[in-house]
Amino acid sequence: MTSSPGDLTLTLIGGPTVLIEIDGLRLVTDPTFDPPRLYQTAPVHFEKTVGPAIEAEAVLPLDAVLLSHDQHLDNLDHAGRALLPKVGTVFTTQAGATRLGGENVLGLAPFETTTLDVPGKGRLFVTAAPARHGPPGIEPISGDVVGFLLGRDAPGDLLYVTGDTVFYEGVAEVARRFAPRVVIVFAGSAEPRGRFHMTMDANDALETANAFPDATLVAAHTDGWVHFKESATELAAAFATLGIAERLVPLEPGRPTVFAA
């Protein structure tokens, strides 16, 4: 499908990293561009099994990065961190903005809205969304996380990126306040410690589909890391089992998918 002005184009790069193109603007979610490797970090070891479908330099120029959090390597790896100074604006958590520093880094509180306005391209409303990276009480372990909403005519009318979260009252509140056309769910049922999932599993994704009945869903962060326990194929099978396969549009790594305006 050929894109037209006003269309939304999404390209899965790998893991949580998606290239977003709209109205001449180019953004990327949680940049991870390292090759496959084992990260020897405490208390959790991260093992990446698949490299990016597009290399970091090939996605430039970028007007913004939507960084759900900076403290986990499967959301911001070494190559992704090196990319940050090269983009227009990095939107992230307030705590992450303090850690990262840099004149182009902006921390947002949940439901805080600002604008991305690039002369000669376009303008988007950028709103931070609440996120909880695991079960209740996980915050001291997982740290702060945010999702993001993008809007063209009004905040949140275009795209919702959940970030690393499970389905909980914060996501339900996003659904009560906004009506995005497309929702990118960070799924995969991440279990880095083998006790509980810290990103959406199929049940969470199905709850999200129910909360946003008029939105098309796409999944990211489902493959490429050892601690992800539920693949994109398994997620799609869950939607098909409940007779709503059409609600979930698959993204093929490296191939742009156009969502008509």
Q: What is the pLDDT of residues 5-49, one digit of tens each?
A: 679 999 999 999 999 999 999 999 999 999 998 887 666 677 888
Q: Is the pLDDT of residue 192 over 80?
A: no
Please give the C-alpha separations between residue 247 and each of 19, 38, 55, 210, in angstroms, as whole numbers.
21, 35, 30, 10
- Rounded Cα distance between 43 and 46, Å, is 10
pLDDT at 1 over 60: no
Give the model's pLDDT for residue 44: 67
Q: Work out whether strand 37-39 and strand 25-29 pair parallel, antiparallel, or are unpaired.
A: unpaired
pLDDT value at position 28? 98
pLDDT grade, residue 133 (50/70/90)? confident
Share of the chain above pLDDT 70, in %: 94
* Per-residue confidence (pLDDT) for residue 82, from 0 to 100: 97
In order of their start, the domains of the chain are 8-248 (3.60.15.10)
- Rounded to an integer, the average pLDDT of 121-141 is 85
User: Is the predicted pLDDT of residue 110 greater than 90, yes or no?
Assistant: yes
Q: How far apart are CA 201 and CA 85, in angstroms?
A: 33
pLDDT in tens, 48-61: 889 999 999 999 99
Residues 99/100/101/104 CA torsion (nearest 10 deg): -140
Task: Supply the mean pLDDT for the chain.
Answer: 91
Mean pLDDT in residue range 227-242: 91
Residue 206's pLDDT band, with cuts at 50, 70 and 90, is: very high
Q: How far is CA 79 from CA 32, 192, 240, in A?
A: 7, 21, 36
> How far is 162 from 165, CA to CA, in rounded Å?
7
Selected residue with higher pLDDT from 114 and 73 = 114
Long-range contacts, stretch 5-9, CB < 8 angstroms, 24+ apart: 5/261, 6/152, 6/261, 7/258, 7/259, 7/260, 7/261, 8/158, 8/159, 8/181, 8/182, 8/258, 8/259, 8/261, 9/256, 9/257, 9/258, 9/259
| Across 75-84, 139-148, 246-255, least confident range | 139-148
